Amino acid sequence: MVVEEIVAKAASLGVRGHVVVTGGEPLIWLRRGLEELACKLRELGTVEVETSGVHRPTPRLDTCVDFYDVSPKLSNAGVKAPLDKFYVSSPKAWFKFVVGDEGDVEEAARYVEAFGIPRDRVFLMPMSQSAEEHAEVLRRIWDAAVKLGLRVTPRLHIVAWDNERER
């Protein structure tokens, strides 16, 4: 699909006000159409890009993005994905860490401290595939998060539809 087709498809689905560019790692498409897409999507509203934070956005992309939803990878992800310092200093960046237990919460807190990420821009999300698992993980992480001064946010799509795709 070309950019115009993607934007037309989003518009036909009733997207208005806030558009999230996601799916794997969108920034692998830097200089290959992502900038054009983000800029064109602004016609539909605020543009948010989800990223692992590994790739630094180009200046053109940055002008068209309102928010970055940065999800740095902890050891529970099983991959090494170094965070680009750009995001730490960007007022557009918000950080979410997917955590499954108290150890993950502590690792996230160490990560936040080591990189100097503003705590008021950090959220912890339960690692889960179903509403039942989500509730269990939420109970496991809550006290540790509060103790370390980190906020927890639910993964509402998991609570509502488990891990059903295309919702």
Domain ranges in the chain? 1-73+83-91, 96-167
DSSP 43-70: GGEEEEEEE-S-SPPPHHHHHH-SEEEE
Residue 167 — pLDDT band, cuts 50, 70, 90? low
pLDDT in tens, 7-50: 999 999 887 799 999 988 999 999 999 999 999 999 999 999 99
pLDDT in tens, 114-136: 999 999 999 999 999 999 999 99
Instruction: Give the chain's length.
Output: 167
Q: Give, for 96, the enclosing helix (H) or strand (E).
A: strand 93-99
pLDDT in tens, 80-96: 889 999 999 999 999 99
